[in-house]
Structure 1
Amino acid sequence: MNRRDLLLGAGALATTPALLPSPAKAQADRGMLRVAMTTGDIPLTTGQPSQGAEGNRFLGITLYDPLIAWDLSKADAPPALKPALALSWAVDPADTRRWTFQLRPGVAFHDGSAFTAESVAWNLAKLLDRDAPQFDRQQAAQGSLWIGSIARWAVRGPLTIEIETRTPDAVLPFSLANVFFSSPARWEALGRSWERFAEKPSGTGPYIADRFIPRQRLEAVRNTAYWDPARIPKHERLALIPMPDALTRTAALLSGQVDLIEAPPPDAAARIRAGGGSVVTNVYPHNWCFHLSFVEGSPFRDLRIRKAANLAIDRDGIVGMLAGMAAPAAGMVTKGHPWFGTPSFEIRHDPDQARRLLAEAGFGPRNPVKVRLIISPSGSGQMQPLPMNEAIQQNLRAVGIEVEFDVMDWEALRARRRAGAEAPENRGCHGINNSWAFWDPDIGLLGPAQSTDRRPGGFNWGHFIDPEADALAIKARATFDPEAQRQVLAALHARIVDQAMWLWVVHDVNPRGLARRVKGFVQAQSWYQDLTPITLEG
């Protein structure tokens, strides 16, 4: 699919009469913010969402809350951590594995039950304690990304909980911003059934679930008793609608069926603006990339082939194909980021050097490297994956790397990523196109680079093993001084770039399409976005 196809497709769909809402429906939706997600299904509603960061964005920080949250109120600066369900937290200087959290008083779940330290312990058990009656495999699979370092926990008072990690972990507060809390009372009242809880969820968040149709729609009402008055939604209702196809999302926005869409096709921006809407963008910690396999039989075990693949990519061409809605990547983090460091390998478009490296490795036009990559047609942070992957395939073929794609649903791809490259279902797969974040040190650098951190569902999909990277990652986790930790992280980033650990392509600029009636949205420099300030006019 080329850029012209993206535009013409959106225009054709936008004029389809079947998509136009009826006057009665438009009247009923007047106070409802309708959001079209890129996901193919409603994320898990039970507390720990599925569907990646988009699931957390639309189910995690809407129906639920974490102990520690991101401040998403500004567009002109990266967000910082702030107190949420925890008022404060501190590490024990005598034992840096031990953290104490003082919880916010007076917080209630949507069912009216109190949020306490016992609630936190109960929720940690639902993710980590396989013997607990509330243990939920689905939520545990999603939460494994964030709670793998936790060894044990203990209630120390009605509003005090202690969490102990397996080893010193200075990045635990970042991880806990992705862990959400369900109501134990609601689970008990529904017969201890997570299936029934999914239909009637109860969290502490600014929205209360009201109507749930699996795979079609979730509607919520504003929580007028929300503990943070500044985040009581300024609209009456919220509707979350899965729409994995970019053209369908655009058509729905143009026809008035929805008010906000994720990841509009680049060439649809002019059409959206001409219709009175807007397209907003902002920098954020994102990398559209391929995690590479280092298991036996993978061509990417050879550093020359990894470097050649990185040098083959015409990143400026891909940015152009996306109408400027991206920025070329030179590593995991953006140039100028405090963690960028000074790598000696320069990631750039240099097909001649790529061919020389492949020749050194024994490959060429008559003997191409053959790789198989897993991709998805849509998903959280996946941008426009099909045309982008077609461009990647052409770039790699031009230097002597032949690519075969396995295309699968986004959530199926995420399950493959959590399984790891050594899993039987990933045998013969040499890379996975799972866009990535670097909002915190763990997901951005430590987890992907550290081979000694083999938590279930962890971030090191390909089993990258490098003693120098391991040593730096372990040092960063044990460094609690922010400036000293920054220096270690910069050295780690330089090391993984020099090792061409992944195939890095572009950074997204987080485009969203907004209807004319949407006012007050602040596009934070984050994978997460706060919908609560939005007002609806007309």
Structure 2
Amino acid sequence: MALSRYTFAAAFGAASVLSVPVAALAQDKILRIGMTAADIPRTLGQPDQGFEGNRFTGMTIYDSLTAWDLSKEDEASVVIASLATDWGVDPEDTTKWIFTLRDDVTFHDGTPFNAEAVVWNVQKVLDEDAPHFDASQVGVTASRMPTLRSARVIDEFTVELTTSEPDSFLPINLTNLFMASPSHWQAKFDETGDAESAWAAFAADPSGSGPFRVTGFVPRERLELAPNTDYWNPDRTPKLDGVVLVPLPEANARTAALLSGQVDWIEAPAPDAIPQIESRGFNIYANPQPHVWPWQLSFAEGSPWLDIRVRHAANLCFDREELQILLGGYMGLPKGTVDPTHPWWGNPDFDIRYDLDEAQRLMSEAGFSAENPLAVKVQTSASGSGQMQPIPMNEYLQQALRDCYFDVELDVIEWNTLFTNWRRGATDESANGAHAINVTFATMDPFFAMVRFSSTGTFPPVSNNWGYFGNDEFDALIADARTTFEDDARDAALGRLHKRLVEEAPFVWVAHDAGPRAMSTRVTGVVQPKSWFIDIAPMDMD
């Protein structure tokens, strides 16, 4: 396919400058960030808006028991201690974990963090009988740690967590459970009289233990953060005077806001604008990320993807290097969910590549041709966390797959709606008849990378196995990995799972995100790790 057949400029259209309120925010060290999200991620403890929410309102306002090490740009991020100083599984009962907690942490409202606070935060998403249980936080939390069942206080700074089955992934999963202040919520409950109203009041005036606290909140317009000067971790105690988060879902609007000085940092700049951004003296930060941009395929009855020849053909039919050029180079070329250097690689027999002849042969063998194309419908979004440039990328695929006898229809919806639909499944009416869904995902932990897409236990609404892919073979592979607590042996088990996942191809693997973000040269202390996340707390401004 010649490059002239498609350009991103036509897809993006004309830029529109969004007015960003910056009066009274012109202090020297206020960092203003243009997000891809269409709204401010929820601030009540468990963010929405995918992992962009974790990055901007999770890891800033809150802490978790474990965290990702985001301090290195040349090594893979690993899980490190955060509010928990150490942990271990009970050798007599591997469904129980003991976590030792920090004893010097206070929430923004001045109340102490302790084991009772951990139990309270587990109950908020798992215990329907708890007075503070919040169903609205369950979907973005329980699906990310599906085996966690309960928490119990052992002493003031020791807590026991129990899982439904042995699960060596739990310490990784806990990076997603953010600790909110029980006392602050109780004060809101005493004021409002019911749990739902208390959570709404808490979201407007949240209290975590993170490096920043909320000082101003206007939905769909901005969130203002101030430094927590009493933060417990000196390496993450903010140097900034504040942070302002601005929703800017359209790529050209983000770019215009950066070039005009309305913001200092934008996520996912428009590829066509990168030369101009660089020529104007801005910095572009990027790093290969454990983050996949896919089509996740349906295995529901009647799906066109049930034939493995069709799944393989779609993975062979388009030139990823050409797409990489169209994205300004800011894209990794996938060979699977993880790359061949990863300890979970497993050496699959199916080689993801561009092979038009083989793709056409497979489609012909499956009974399709230019005169008899296969109709497939894909649900995607116009923007969103990790979605890169979803409309241009999907339109590129739509054109490229015609050469292999696919007739692709796109169903474009709002990002947060798409993310919600992802948990409802391909047979739910929210899928609108789609045979594939385009939601990007991080691959830093094995549950997020593979388990939730290949286990029969993660069919909707439990987790994100939207396409209902899985069988006894995959369940056995997952159980082997999940019950292996020694690192090298667990990596080998996960390699066997990844090998079979690539061979069965429940995805069309399109790209790995490189996470490009453009920033003013005034922003210093930036470390772009090999992670979907980035840590704002250590940053500064000249």
On whether the aligned pair clears a TM of 0.5, the verdict is yes
Does the 8 Å contact 2:459/2:466 carry over to 1?
Answer: no
The percent of aligned pairs where both chains have the same amino acid is 45
Alignment of 1:174-323 (within 5 A): 174-191=172-189, 192=195, 193-323=198-328
Q: How far did residue 349 of structure 1 move?
A: 1.1
Take 1:453 and 1:5, find their aligned partners in 2: how far apart are those partners? Answer: 39
Could you report, residue by residue, the CA deviation over 1:42-95 in whole angstroms, capped at 9, with x for unpaired residues? 011100000001000001100000100111111111111111111111001111
Matched, 1:410 2:415: yes
Take 2:511 and 2:73, find their aligned partners in 1: how far apart are those partners? Answer: 21
Q: TM-score, normalised by structure 1?
A: 0.95
SS at match of 1:300: coil
Does the 8 Å contact 1:37/1:244 carry over to 2?
Answer: yes
Matched, 1:445 2:443: no
Matched, 1:396 2:394: no
Take 1:383 and 1:203, find their aligned partners in 2: how far apart are those partners? Answer: 30
Take 2:180 and 2:461, find their aligned partners in 1: how far apart are those partners? Answer: 22
Matched, 1:135 2:140: no
Does the 8 Å contact 1:20/1:256 carry over to 2?
Answer: no
Could you report, residue by residue, the CA deviation over 1:375-415 in whole angstroms, capped at 9, with x for unpaired residues? 10101110011110000001111111111111001100001
Q: How far did residue 535 of structure 1 move?
A: 1.3
Alignment of 1:110-189 (within 5 A): 110-189=108-187
Does the 8 Å contact 1:7/1:267 carry over to 2?
Answer: no
Take 1:239 and 1:419, find their aligned partners in 2: how far apart are those partners? Answer: 33
Matched, 1:530 2:535: yes
Does the 8 Å contact 1:311/1:353 carry over to 2?
Answer: yes
Using a 3 Å threshold, how does the CA distance of structure 1 residues 20 and 305 change in structure 2: closer, same or farther?
A: closer
Take 1:253 and 1:457, find their aligned partners in 2: how far apart are those partners? Answer: 40
Using a 3 Å threshold, how does the CA distance of structure 1 residues 8 and 404 change in structure 2: closer, same or farther?
A: closer
Does the 8 Å contact 2:378/2:437 carry over to 1?
Answer: yes
Does the 8 Å contact 1:19/1:255 carry over to 2?
Answer: no
Name the residue aligned to 1:34.
32
> Which residues of structure 2 form unaligned runs of 5+?
1-5, 190-194
Matched AA of 2:154: R
Q: TM-score, normalised by structure 2?
A: 0.95
SS at match of 1:190: helix
Matched AA of 1:163: L
SS at match of 2:167: coil
SS at match of 1:452: helix
Name the residue aligned to 2:53.
55
Relative to structure 2, which stretch is displaced further, 132-141 or 457-466?
457-466
Q: How far did residue 145 of structure 1 move?
A: 2.4
Q: How far did residue 9 of structure 1 move?
A: 4.1
Matched, 1:465 2:463: no
Does the 8 Å contact 1:6/1:267 carry over to 2?
Answer: no
Q: How far did residue 238 of structure 1 move?
A: 0.7
Relative to structure 2, which stretch is displaced further, 464-473 or 292-301?
464-473
Using a 3 Å threshold, how does the CA distance of structure 1 residues 445 and 140 change in structure 2: closer, same or farther?
A: same
Query: Pick from 87, 93, 96: which aligns with 1:95?
Result: 93
Does the 8 Å contact 1:20/1:255 carry over to 2?
Answer: no
Take 1:430 and 1:105, find their aligned partners in 2: how far apart are those partners? Answer: 50
Does the 8 Å contact 2:379/2:431 carry over to 1?
Answer: no
Take 2:396 and 2:10, find their aligned partners in 1: how far apart are those partners? Answer: 15
Name the residue aligned to 1:71.
69
Name the residue aligned to 1:349.
354
Matched AA of 2:58: G
Matched AA of 1:440: D
Take 2:233 and 2:40, find their aligned partners in 1: how far apart are those partners? Answer: 26
